[in-house]
Amino acid sequence: MVRHRRSRTSLSASPIRRSAPRNSRKQHGTDVEPSVAVLSRERDEALVQQRAIEEVLKIISASPAELQAVLELVARSAARFCEADDVTISELDGQDLRMAAHWGSVPNLEIGFHFPCTRETVAGRTVLDRKLVHVIDLQAEAEDFPEGSANARRFGHRTIASVPLLREGVAIGTIALRRTEVNPFTDKQLALLGTFAAQAVIAIENARLLIELRERTTELTESLEEQSASSEVLKVVSQSGIELTPVLDELVATAARICSADSGFILRLQDGLCRMVASFGKSPEYKDFQLRNPIVPNRGTLAGRVVLTRDMVHIEDASTDPEYTRIEAVKLGHQRTMLGVPLVRDGALIGVLTLARSWVEPFTLKQIALVQNFASQAVIALENARLLSELRESTTELTESLEQQTATSEVLQIIASSPGELEPVVQAMLANATRLCKASYGAMWLKEGDRFRNAAFHGPLPEAYLEQWRNASVSLTAPLAALYNRESRFR
Position 5 in a domain? no
In a shared domain, residues 280 and 171: no
Residues 6+ apart with CB under 8 A from 444: 426, 429, 430, 454, 455, 456, 457
**Same-domain status, 199 and 70:** yes
Residues 249, 205 share a domain: no
pLDDT value of residue 138? 96
Residues 266 and 361 in one domain: yes
Same domain as 267, residue 204: no
Residue 164's domain is classified under what CATH number? 3.30.450.40
pLDDT of 18 reads 32
**Do 81 and 185 sit in the same domain of this protein?**
yes
Sign of the CA dihedral with 319 first, then 322, 328, and 329 last: negative
What is the per-residue pLDDT across 423-482, written as a single tens digit (0 to 9) for each? 777 777 778 778 778 787 787 777 777 777 777 777 777 776 666 666 656 555 545 455
User: Is there a domain that residue 394 lies in?
Assistant: no
Positive or negative torsion for Cα 70, 74, 79, 81 = positive
Say whether pLDDT at 411 is over 90. no
Do 143 and 58 share a structural domain? yes
How many angstroms separate the CA atoms of 37 and 43, rounded?
A: 10
How far is 136 from 178, CA to CA, in rounded Å?
10
pTM exceeds cut of 0.75: no
57 and 204 co-located in one domain: yes
Residue whose C-alpha is closest to residue 91's, from 146, 171, 19, 183? 171
Can you tell me the distance from the alpha carbon of 78 to that of 196, in angstroms, rounded to the nearest whole number?
Answer: 6
Compute how many other C-beta atoms are within 10 angstroms of the C-beta atom of residue 350.
18
How many domains are contained in the chain? 3
- Residues 355-378 pLDDT 10s: 999 999 999 998 998 888 888 888
Mean pLDDT of 255-276: 90
pLDDT at 418 over 70: no
What is the pLDDT confidence band of residue 262, given thresholds at 50, 70 and 90?
very high
Q: Final residue of a domain: which of 317, 346, 372?
A: 372
Range of the domain at 135: 50-210
Contact 324, 347 (CB under 8 A): no
SS3 sequence, 88-128? EEEEEECCEEEEEEEEECCCCCCCCCEEECCCCCHHHHHHH
Same domain, 201 and 250: no
